[in-house]
Structure 1
Amino acid sequence: MSALSTLPLLAAADTPDYGWLGNTIVAIMEAIGPVGVGLAVFAENIFPPIPSEVILPLAGFTAAGGAFSPHAALIWATVGSVVGALALYGLGAWLGRRRLYRIAAWMPLVDVSDVEKTEKWFARYGYWTVVVGRMVPVFRSLISIPAGIERMNMAKFTLFTALGSLLWNAIFVYGGYALGENFHVISDYADMFSNIVMVLILVFLAVWVVLRLRRNRARAADPAVDHEDPEAAAARVEAEIKALQHRK
């Protein structure tokens, strides 16, 4: 067997296994290029349990393999972030506060108080919540909804979302690219590292779901807990936010 004929086998052997999710993301990126990065990040914005902390380093890692440039990965990742945020902004504007609170009360793993805290944080700190929120897992998706409810200036919302997303994406994309360029150094540990990351994500999600279910069950069984009607909660929060904005 010639040396050239062994190259595909060696490449396959050196390719780490990222688990079904990671492998799927890498396959999409390799098939359609940096546009696949944008699609993956867009999906992460719409469905927060998909972790950008996995998607973005894989984008950089794939770029290091020559599928596309890291700069293209960063640009498309930021485009995906902004488009996903605008979709949730539109959802918040369309639903409005009262319908959103009714939906939150109906969903088993979401609590009205979660939405209430996010809204109040947005009302208190304004545009900066959009920048900082893009760097906080899960919250970076949620913050777009109250921005839509409050009809935040869309041009400013887009700008601040782009700035926060660009910084967050750059850290992970270029970090993954740097690792990819030194794959010969870390190849012995890549599979183990990717497996550890996937296990930690699954454990985090499982623990979060269990704790949330226990909390909801305890609240439902405790007569001392004030089970506020979502309509009343929405009206109360609306009044509190207006008072806060008036004091500003």
Structure 2
Amino acid sequence: MEGFGALHIDQWIAAIPPLAVYLTIGLIIGLESLGIPLPGEIALVSATLLTLHPSSAVQWEWIAVAAMTGAIVGDSIGYSIGRKFGKPLFVWLGKKFPKHFGPNHLATAERAFERWGMWAVFFGRFIALLRIFAGPLAGALKMPYAKFLTANALGGICWAGGTTAAIHYLGEAASHFLSQFAWIGLGVALLFGIGVSLFIKHRAGKAHVSTEDTAIEAADKH
């Protein structure tokens, strides 16, 4: 039964069309970058883990390319939308989707842009909140498109390429070292991806507290 189950899983994984995986990843990350709250990071990690299975024809390099493309194109579309509709768009979104676009979320994102400028777009690729806001907010704040595109492209390449490469090679090394426990290698890779995500969120949280303290100090002076 165990052999039959493993064979069944192998056949199922082998039957997944690689092109469908690439297009799905590009679409999810593109929509998230455009401003729609989707789990882009989870999708990217899950798809990369798929490349570690010997029966899978999916290649991590093409997952990275799809993710980079989705990130850059999605952010650029979001920038155009934000530039056209401006801040009233965020007010409307805040009323419709307060969980993701509430006043506190917008204020945090605006403070990040005021403090870091174009680098908020770059580092925003690694932070869930800014990943959704970066494109539309940069457009609404009239950031020059050349600066935005530079930061957007660099952030997309570093985030997508770095995440897929790290997870793939770490998982591959772990699987090779623990060949008799292949799934442990996958688990190690997944934990690594989660650990990186939590570390980034921790740093983002510290930055958020710092910007709040700065705002409070400025208000007290006035």
Q: 1:127 Cα deviation (Å)?
A: 0.8
Structure 2 residue corresponding to 1:67, chosen from 52, 57, 74? 57
Q: Distance in 2 between matches of 1:8 and 1:162?
A: 45
Query: Does residue 87 of structure 2 align to residue 97 of structure 1?
Result: yes
Q: Distance in 1 between matches of 2:30 and 2:116?
A: 25
In structure 2, what is the equivalent of residue 165 of structure 1? 156
Q: 1:172 Cα deviation (Å)?
A: 2.1
Identity rate, percent = 20
SS of residue paired to 1:143: helix
Structure 2 residue corresponding to 1:84, chosen from 58, 69, 74? 74
In structure 2, what is the equivalent of residue 115 of structure 1? 106
In structure 1, what is the equivalent of residue 37 of structure 2? 48
Contact 2:23 2:66 in 1 (8 A): yes
In structure 2, what is the equivalent of residue 202 of structure 1? none
Structure 2 residue corresponding to 1:10, chosen from 6, 9, 21? 6
Root-mean-square deviation (CA, aligned residues, Å) is 3.8
Which structure 2 segments of 5+ residues have no match?
195-222
What are the Cα deviations for residues 131-188 of structure 1, in whole angstroms up to 9, with x where unaligned? 1111112321212222011222223212211111211222321233231575443415
Letter in 1 for 2:79: Y
Q: 1:130 Cα deviation (Å)?
A: 0.8
- Residue pairs, 1:77-226, within 5 angstroms: 77-109=67-99, 110-178=101-169, 179=171, 182-183=174-175, 184=179, 185-187=181-183
Q: 1:68 Cα deviation (Å)?
A: 3.7
Which structure 1 segments of 5+ residues have no match?
1-5, 17-22, 199-248
Q: 1:97 Cα deviation (Å)?
A: 1.5
Q: Alignment length, in residue pairs?
A: 184
Q: Distance in 2 between matches of 1:126 and 1:97?
A: 17
Contact 2:82 2:137 in 1 (8 A): yes
Q: Distance in 1 between matches of 2:174 and 2:188?
A: 16
Computing the radius of gyration from Cα coordinates, the structure with the larger value is 1
Letter in 2 for 1:90: S
Given the two structures, how large is their TM-score scaled by the length of structure 2?
0.65
SS of residue paired to 1:138: helix
Contact 2:26 2:67 in 1 (8 A): yes
Q: 1:43 Cα deviation (Å)?
A: 3.3
Contact 2:25 2:67 in 1 (8 A): yes
My pick for the range that moved more, 83-92 or 36-45, is: 36-45
